[in-house]
Amino acid sequence: EKPFCVGRVKEMFLWGYAVSVITKMTIHEDNTMESFTLAGNEDHLSRILEEGDSSINLGRIRTGGLRVPERIKRKLRYTLVDGEGKEVFEEEEPSQRGNLLE
C-alpha cells in the first residue's frame, strides 16, 4: 500500500474496486486534467469515505470535467479551471453530473 505518482494525466476514469487507488496516488502538481470520473458501489467507495475531508489531492480539473458521487467530493481537494487554465469558483449543478453509483 505504498503511495505512487501517476505523473501528468489528461483523463482519468476509475470504476469498481479501482476507485480506492486515489487514496494512494499523487498527480504532478502542474497537471490539469480534462476529466476525472469515479464510479462504484458502496463497497467500492467505502475506503474513500474513511479518509479525512479534503485529504485526497487531485490538482487542477477543467470545469465540467469532475464527475464523482456528491458525498465523495468533500474528501477531494481540487481546483476547477476554465479552458484558459484560470481558476473558477462555480461548477455545474449536481443534477447535470448524473448518478455514478452502479
pLDDT at 100: 52
* Band (89; pLDDT cuts 50, 70, 90): confident
Sheet (strand 35-39) strand order:
11-15, 35-39, 66-67
pLDDT of residue 38: 96
**For 14-57, how does the pLDDT look when each residue is reduced to its tens digit (9 = 90+)?**
999 999 999 999 998 889 999 999 999 999 999 999 999 999 99
Residue 31: Cβ within 10 Å count: 15
pLDDT at residue 55, rounded to an integer:
95
What is the pLDDT at residue 2?
87
Sheet with 32-33: strands ordered across? 32-33, 56-62, 76-81
Q: Which residue has the higher pLDDT, 20 or 100?
A: 20
